[in-house]
Amino acid sequence: MRPVTLTAGCLLLLAVSSCTGTPESVPQGPCIPIEEEQLTQEMITLPEGVVVRQRTSGGLLPVEREWLFYSDGRIRHPNGDITRLEQDDAATVLSAEEFRSLERLAKDYPAPPGSADFVTMDLTFRGPAGVCAITAADSSEQVPDQLFDYWDRLQQAARRSLQKR
């Protein structure tokens, strides 16, 4: 497996660097092992150096927004601003174990029939087993609480980094 290059001391990236993943550990779901990433760019991709990409679209007021979390602790916000996670904040984002459990949640959670005004949450991340993607309609009762929790913690970390700059 191709190693992930990490440079800074934030747990967001430590979570990834500490998980080497083996072919046997590749979970069921839309995860692409890192060594295959070049072959599957059209399926799931992440820009160079990005550990997590959060995207939202839809909702009663349909706003499309994207946050990029880089392996060196930088965060790119929807308005183009770049901030950096501080060490303390980084420690509260996602642990290595939580990245592993996030991989186990990797699949699509479509909107129930008839539903409307839901927000579509797209989460793409480099987990221990490779690049994974989760697409979830937040009106789906199938979306695990854990996924909402991880999602919200990433959002809170992004907000805190904006407030502290």
- Binding residues for other proteins (CB under 8 A): 57-64, 79, 111-120, 138-141, 143, 145, 148, 152
d(CA 86, CA 79): 20
Min. distance of Cβ 91 from other proteins in angstroms? 21
Whether 87 contacts 14, CB under 8 Å: no
Min. distance of Cβ 30 from other proteins in angstroms? 19
Name the residue nearer to other proteins (CB basis): 7 or 156. 156
Distances from the Cα of 119 to the Cαs of 47, 81, 89, 115, in angstroms?
24, 23, 26, 11
Name the residue nearer to other proteins (CB basis): 1 or 143. 143
Min. distance of Cβ 58 from other proteins in angstroms? 5
Min. distance of Cβ 94 from other proteins in angstroms? 17
User: Is residue 51 within a helix (H) or strand (E), and if so which, with residue range?
Assistant: strand 50-58
Burial letters for 116-141: b for 16+ Cβ neighbours within 10 Å, e otherwise? eebebbebbbbbbbbbbbbbbbbbee
Name the residue nearer to other proteins (CB basis): 3 or 114. 114
* DSSP-derived pairing of the beta strands 74-76 and 82-84: antiparallel
Burial letters for 46-66: b for 16+ Cβ neighbours within 10 Å, e otherwise? beebbbbbbbbebeeeeeeee
Name the residue nearer to other proteins (CB basis): 25 or 146. 146
Min. distance of Cβ 118 from other proteins in angstroms? 5
Name the residue nearer to other proteins (CB basis): 9 or 62. 62
